[in-house]
């Protein structure tokens, strides 16, 4: 039985009892509308922790766009059924007032790695992520937290903030889960029309082709430019970014002398897709 908890105080009591028995708590922070990507995180948590909490909270502080917040899919009954099937112990689903009560005034900010990519296109987004994660780690007292590599920059931000603030938690990144056609799973995918859904996996295949070229010695800028043209021709909307960045520090990478990651964000209708792959 997955227990649904909505209050931080109730969660704290539950966790305190677990901790007195020496149990290791794992947490999977999510915004709900769960798909196999989230469930793979719950499975990883199940394997690497004694007790698993999945949090479902659509965090207003990390949305820079009111319409995106408004349209974000929500289906708690289905989320609960999926988590039951994975043997998750607690679904923690607090309301906005529970997370941000009257008088709330604290922000956690990470400089540097939050500035490019998502940070450049979603002002304030990573302050929202860093703040809510700090709160969720405080509320859950988890020893391990599981994040998908799909949100690669977010994963780096959470790793940096927990290291910087000496939080007693280990952040574990888990591989992106994809549909059979290569599209990275995302809660926002349900908002794609049929035609957009058919086109969407091209993002991943174009990125793979560009990565292969770069590994074969094609200059990075040329390979990325070819990919941008291909995406445009294929029918995608505005490209926010398609870049090669160092794994360590997310600095612009002009070659493969350091481990690198290719990251992209692109619009398809009114849905913004993001993806990233190793190069």
Binding residue ranges for ATP: 31-38, 148-151, 177, 185-188
Of residues 165-194, those binding a copy of itself (CB under 8 A): 165-168
Q: 178 by DSSP, 3-state: which?
A: strand
Cβ atoms of residues 157 and 110 within 8 Å? yes
Cβ atoms of residues 234 and 270 within 8 Å? no
Cβ atoms of residues 27 and 45 within 8 Å? yes
- State the minimum distance, in angstroms, from the CB of residue 177 to a copy of itself: 29
d(CA 248, CA 257): 12
Of residues 2-41, those binding a copy of itself (CB under 8 A): 8, 12, 20, 22
Q: Which of 110, 117, 174, 199 binds a copy of itself (CB under 8 A)?
A: 110
- Determine whether 204 is an active site residue: no
Cβ atoms of residues 29 and 147 within 8 Å? yes
Which residues are registered as beta bridge partners of 28?
Answer: 54
Catalytic residue among 14, 38, 43, 261: 38
* Buried-exposed string 95-117: b where 16+ CB fall within 10 A, e elsewhere: eeebbbeeeeeeebebeebbebb
**Closer residue to a copy of itself in complex, CB, 88/110:** 110
- State the minimum distance, in angstroms, from the CB of residue 174 to a copy of itself: 23
Instruction: Indicate the annotated binding residues.
Output: 31-38, 62, 148-151, 154, 177, 185-188
Pattern 233-262, binding to a copy of itself, x per CB under 8 A? ----------------x-------------
Strand pairing class (170-174; 51-56): unpaired
Q: Which of 14, 135, 191, 228 binds a copy of itself (CB under 8 A)?
A: 135
Which residues are known catalytic residues? Answer: 38
Q: Which residues contact a copy of itself by CB under 8 A?
A: 8, 12, 20, 22, 103-113, 130-131, 134-135, 138-139, 141, 160-161, 164-168, 249
């Amino acid at each position: 039985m997955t227990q649904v908890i909505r209050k931080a105080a109730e969660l704290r009591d539950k966790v305190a009892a677990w901790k007195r028995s020496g149990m290791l708590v794992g947490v999977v922070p999510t915004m709900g509308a769960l798909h196999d990507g989230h469930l793979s995180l719950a499975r990883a948590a199940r394997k690497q922790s004694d007790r698993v909490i999945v949090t479902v909270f659509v965090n207003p502080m990390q949305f820079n766009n009111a319409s995106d917040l408004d349209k974000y899919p929500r289906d708690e009954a289905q989320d609960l059924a999926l988590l039951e099937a994975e043997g998750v112990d607690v679904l923690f689903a607090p309301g906005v007032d529970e997370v941000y009560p009257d008088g709330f005034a604290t922000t956690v900010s990470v400089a540097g790695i939050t500035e490019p990519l998502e940070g450049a296109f979603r002002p304030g987004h990573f302050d929202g992520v860093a703040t809510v994660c700090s709160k969720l780690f405080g509320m859950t007292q988890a020893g391990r937290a599981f994040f998908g590599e799909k949100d690669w920059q977010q994963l780096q931000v959470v790793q940096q903030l927990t290291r910087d603030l000496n939080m007693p938690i280990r952040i574990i990144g888990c591989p992106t889960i994809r549909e059979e056609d290569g599209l990275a799973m995302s809660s926002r995918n349900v908002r794609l029309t049929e035609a957009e859904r058919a086109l969407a996996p091209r993002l991943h295949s174009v990125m793979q082709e560009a990565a292969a070229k770069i590994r074969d010695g094609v200059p990075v800028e040329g390979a990325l430019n070819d990919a941008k043209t291909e995406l445009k021709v294929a029918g995608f909307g505005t490209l926010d970014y398609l870049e090669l960045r160092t794994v360590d520090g997310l600095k612009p990478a002009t070659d493969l002398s350091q481990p690198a990651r290719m990251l992209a964000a692109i619009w398809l209708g009114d849905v913004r897709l993001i993806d990233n792959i190793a190069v």
